[in-house]
Amino acid sequence: MPGLQPVRGTQDLLPDAARRHRQVSETARRLAALYGFDEIVTPIFEFTEVFARPIGEHTDIVAKEMYSLKDRGGEDLSLRPENTAGVVRAVLSNGLTQSTPLKFFYSGPMFRYERPQKGRFRQFHQIGVELLGVPQAQADIEVIALGRRILKELGIGERVVLELNTLGDPESRAAYRDALVAYFSSRRGELSEDSQRRLDTNPLRILDSKDQGDIRINTDAPSFDSYLSDASRDFFAVVRDGLERLGIEHRLNPRLVRGLDYYTHSVFEFITTDLGAQGTVLAGGRYDGLVELMGGPQMPGVGWAGGIERLALMIADPSPPARPVALVPIGEQGEALALTIAETLRGSGFPVDLGYSGNVSRRMRRANRANARVALLIGDDECAKNVVTWRDLDSGEQAEVPLVASSLPELVKRLKALDA
């Protein structure tokens, strides 16, 4: 149908963009394996409760952004807006709570109904890791170190800054929450509409507001540091000391929060100024209360997620795909022989572009569009002599190369020599 467009907030990943996405996900997958993280793949939709319960009914994600539906059986389902809750659900569903520590890596699409802008889509993709069952600060250090290594391997390590904060233990957080409520309540009329709503549901998120009036009010808000317990201070000190030992630079941001109630202790973001408003490329924290909130045993956890679209915008152009061998058959005999030659070359690891129709000129134009390195012409004369005509598309060199049964030793030898 003419005029068809993708749904707003979605995009087609054409080959160049797909290569950039793959560079991000494959780099992260490879490095996560070095840290002992196994890949997990969860469904892209779950029962709505899987997300609504831990994320919170009053959060923007649940109230405004989730794609939810009823299926034909009347079940309430939602496309996943993030993957931590799905991973925890998988741990509980599959009886893995006694197998800690659990270390998972994931990569895949997420869905949120947001206003699209550069680096932000309604269907977007994330890489992420979750480390469950380790209460010690070493887990926080390890996942941050992995995130940092991935960013460096992608070539953008010098263009991001690690910001770090602590939300303390649940008791510290509760005390701080009460102090914030008292402070913001005294200035309720000055808050933005969103922050007035958050004051009743999620006051810590006011600290993260981008509204200029809220930012001014936040300047005089109580400091979390005044409400941290000694144990929380000690935990955070171990995290910071570990990062310093690994040479991972960071800066403290006391306004960095995670608004969900299950977050505790370390929270962090890798941010950049290269992408305008969408400056966070990888973020996470410790969530010691999540598994219990979802009906499981008390089990600590820490993890992060990174936006593939944003990271893909920042990386250098990936290496182009290997240049193919173009087969140019002429006549019925040539067409039949080209099929077997193509499969033999592919079996030897060479990409092959097999033109499907057209005269020699048309097929050679196709070979040039495909950026082929070599064209192999196969006509009646070649079939009679059991050879192919080799044409080097860079140098113009042309020669006859003999075929021997199906192994094509001379042809394979010549092709391998091109890459030597």
Task: State whether 38 and 76 are in the same domain.
Answer: yes
Residues of the chain where predicted confidence (pLDDT) is lower than 50: none
Pull the structure tokens for residue 335.
Answer: 């067409």
- Asked if residue 31 is part of any domain, the answer here is yes
Task: State whether 153 and 83 are in the same domain.
Answer: yes
Task: State whether 103 and 51 are in the same domain.
Answer: yes
- Asked if residue 399 is part of any domain, the answer here is yes
Task: State whether 138 and 157 are in the same domain.
Answer: yes
Question: Alpha carbon 353 to chain centroid distance?
Answer: 31
Longest dimension (CA), the chain: 94
Task: State whether 42 and 109 are in the same domain.
Answer: yes
Task: State whether 309 and 394 are in the same domain.
Answer: no
The answer to whether 346 touches 406, Cβ cutoff 8 Å, is: no
Q: Which of 314, 338, 359 is the last residue of a domain?
A: 314
Task: State whether 404 and 268 are in the same domain.
Answer: no
Task: State whether 123 and 234 are in the same domain.
Answer: yes
Q: What is the domain-level CATH number for residue 341?
A: 3.40.50.800
Pull the structure tokens for residue 210.
Answer: 């981008």
What pLDDT does residue 223 have? Answer: 86
- Asked if residue 346 is part of any domain, the answer here is yes
Task: State whether 329 and 250 are in the same domain.
Answer: no
Which residues 6+ apart lie within 8 Å of 259 measured at CB?
59, 198, 202, 204, 205, 208
- Asked if residue 208 is part of any domain, the answer here is no
Task: State whether 268 and 152 are in the same domain.
Answer: yes
What pLDDT does residue 224 have? Answer: 85
CA distances from 281 to 20, 40, 86, 227 (A): 15, 21, 21, 30
- Asked if residue 6 is part of any domain, the answer here is no
Q: Which domain holds residue 371?
A: 325-419
Q: Which of 314, 334, 368 is the last residue of a domain?
A: 314
Which residues 6+ apart lie within 8 Å of 56 measured at CB?
62, 201, 202, 260, 261
Strand duo 38-39 + 102-111: pairing: parallel
- Asked if residue 8 is part of any domain, the answer here is no
Task: State whether 147 and 282 are in the same domain.
Answer: yes
Number of folded domains in the chain?
2
Task: State whether 36 and 160 are in the same domain.
Answer: yes
Sign of the alpha-carbon dihedral angle for 105, 111, 114, 119: positive
| Cα(124)–Cα(281) distance, integer angstroms | 13
What pLDDT does residue 207 have? Answer: 85
What pLDDT does residue 259 have? Answer: 62
> DSSP string of 112-171?
-----BTTB-SEEEEEEEEEES--SHHHHHHHHHHHHHHHHHTT-GGG-EEEEEE---HH
Q: Which of 314, 342, 375 is the last residue of a domain?
A: 314
For the whole model, what pTM was predicted? 0.88
What pLDDT does residue 110 have? Answer: 96
- Asked if residue 198 is part of any domain, the answer here is no
- Asked if residue 217 is part of any domain, the answer here is no
Q: What is the domain-level CATH number for residue 106?
A: 3.30.930.10
